[in-house]
Amino acid sequence: MSRAATMLRSHPRPASVPVDAVAACIDACLDAAQACTACADACLAEPQVAALVECVQRALDCADVAEVSARLLTRQVGAGLAVVRKQLEACAAACDACADVCERHGHLAHCRECADACRTCEEACLRVLQDPPPPRGYGLDGM
Amino acid sequence: MSRAATMLRSHPRPASVPVDAVAACIDACLDAAQACTACADACLAEPQVAALVECVQRALDCADVAEVSARLLTRQVGAGLAVVRKQLEACAAACDACADVCERHGHLAHCRECADACRTCEEACLRVLQDPPPPRGYGLDGM
Amino acid sequence: MSRAATMLRSHPRPASVPVDAVAACIDACLDAAQACTACADACLAEPQVAALVECVQRALDCADVAEVSARLLTRQVGAGLAVVRKQLEACAAACDACADVCERHGHLAHCRECADACRTCEEACLRVLQDPPPPRGYGLDGM
Amino acid sequence: MSRAATMLRSHPRPASVPVDAVAACIDACLDAAQACTACADACLAEPQVAALVECVQRALDCADVAEVSARLLTRQVGAGLAVVRKQLEACAAACDACADVCERHGHLAHCRECADACRTCEEACLRVLQDPPPPRGYGLDGM
């Protein structure tokens, strides 16, 4: 069980959200954020950096968006369902945009890894977004 | 002219976006983020902190979302229009959610200030979102 | 091998830093940051929140500092050894400060978990700080 | 009076720290962070991007460090004096490292602006660090 899952389960209020999907999404967001920060840095060290500028920029955006998405998912109470959902939509879009460019650079190991992390994160966000909100209670359901 | 506006104007590529609206939105995001971080901290120092928990949580979410939104707006190239637009939608929602709670605490100066900063930021985000994307070119138009 | 280690190894320039210690520190920083964000949120949901205010505040500081420390460690080139070292010193101090308070709340599962994550991160930071900088070359050695 | 100063003054506990110096430092950190994010993006759009890689990387580090420093300064209670001081030392070092590189690119308006913002932030950090901690009380003095 990842730390995120352990932390969600140690929360004083019982979660009405599916903890496993949320924990998986938190982990995927942090993984993608780290991979994007690393990929941007590695692209900057490539001899053909001028051809990788768009990749750097999308990776920087995705790192920022994914990191904040992990924070909002971690806070089980807070801004509520509407805000978390919109943030996850932004995250899925940022992951898709970064992966689209990284997938064009399949000859670079860091771009392959980054694309993999971004696609996993995109899917995890979409999975949480597809879960119907719980009928009532606490969690992502609109506090 | 704010630093954000100066920086946007010093960018090597001519912007096709309305620089003034984007600079105002960056400034409003950073202002709201700082106010939210401060308001959460001030709420924690209030004797009635137990009654302010939701305010703290929404302010923390809003600070994170607004800060990242300023970063995406600042990067004129990058993930592109779709991602920035979704991030601004999340930001407007986070600002609205935080202001809604702060406005209930009109007797607390920090909540009044924070609500003001959040409403200004929400409006700035909506203004950028309402601008039609430029017909072609560089900037927020889908690079 | 964690994503952080894979990403470090996929960097186009050979690292002169001990990759395993740096990757372990990145992972520990992200783990502590997530645990701190979660612990702050869980404290806010406890009935005795008024007694946990200092815990919330230290956890929020530690989450911010650890997250940024992971980013600086991930960028193998950049601000250079002096900045990374100072950031890691701040991170070790923030982890220690948060763990000190969380350890007083051993009856709360989220505080126990958070203290554990913070102590692991503190040790990982100190380990990287204790490594002598490489005699020359690339990486944390002062580019 | 900036928002940061207003927020510090609206805090429920009387500050024993010099509010003006802290507010000026928060504003300078946010200004430097925004300028660094913008300068990194502008460098990526320059035709000679390959010669500006180090500038991009130092600016990215400095943006992250300055943003988090503003957050810690804003939280008047929290991790305490030792952590805030170490974070400000990291911030002053990151600003100095970024300005050092930007000042070599005086022909680029965004580098001139960024160097100016970083030097102002560095000085503001050093000013707060030079203030002797208050004899007792609340604020940066070791809660």
Determine contact, residues B113/D10, Cβ cutoff 8 Å.
yes
How high does pLDDT run on average in chain B? Answer: 89
| CATH number for the domain whose boundaries are A18-128 | 1.20.1270.360
- Is the pLDDT confidence value at A133 over 70? no
Look at residue D1 in the predicted model and tell me its pLDDT.
78
Q: Which two tokens stand for residue B106?
A: 């009109």
Lowest mean pLDDT of A23-32, B82-91, C68-77, C82-91, name the range.
Answer: C68-77
Check residues A86 and A1 and name the one with the higher pLDDT.
Answer: A86
CB-neighbour burial class of residue A12 (10 A; exposed 0-12, middle 13-18, buried 19+): middle
Look at residue C78 in the predicted model and tell me its pLDDT.
59
Amino acid at position D129, single letter: L
Look at residue B80 in the predicted model and tell me its pLDDT.
78
- Is the pLDDT confidence value at D143 over 50? no
Query: Which segments in chain C show pLDDT lower than 70?
Result: 14-16, 77-79, 132-143
Q: By C-alpha distance, which of D126, D74, A59, D81 is closest to C71?
A: A59
End-to-end, the C-alpha distance of chain C in Å comes to 27
User: Hey, where are the domains in chain D?
Assistant: 18-128
Residues of A in contact with D44 (CB under 8 A): 53, 56-57
CB neighbour list of residue A21: distance below 8 Å, 6 or more residues apart: A124, A127, A128, A131
Separation of alpha carbons A113 and C10, rounded Å: 9
- Is the pLDDT confidence value at A9 over 50? yes
Q: By C-alpha distance, which of B65, C48, B102, B74 is closest to D31?
A: B74
Separation of alpha carbons D108 and D131, rounded Å: 35
Rounded (to 5) percent helix, strand, coil in chain A: 75, 0, 25
Residue B76 has its nearest CB partner, among D26, D39, D41, at D41
Q: Which residues of C touch A (CB under 8 A)?
A: 3-4, 6-8, 10-13, 26, 30-31, 34-35, 37-39, 41-42, 44-47, 63, 67, 70-71, 74-78, 108-110, 113-114, 117
How high does pLDDT run on average in chain A? Answer: 89
Confidence grade of residue D76 (pLDDT, cut at 50, 70, 90):
confident
Look at residue C139 in the predicted model and tell me its pLDDT.
42
Residue A44 has its nearest CB partner, among D41, D45, D57, at D57
Q: By C-alpha distance, which of C55, C65, C19 is closest to D70?
A: C65
Positive or negative CA dihedral for B73, B77, B81, B86?
negative
Q: Which residues of A touch C (CB under 8 A)?
A: 3-4, 6-8, 10-13, 26, 30-31, 34-35, 37-39, 41-42, 44-47, 63, 67, 70-71, 74-78, 108-110, 113-114, 117
Check residues D50 and B131 and name the one with the higher pLDDT.
Answer: D50
CB neighbour list of residue B85: distance below 8 Å, 6 or more residues apart: B129, B140
Complex prediction ipTM: 0.90
Average pLDDT over residues B40-55: 96
Look at residue A12 in the predicted model and tell me its pLDDT.
87
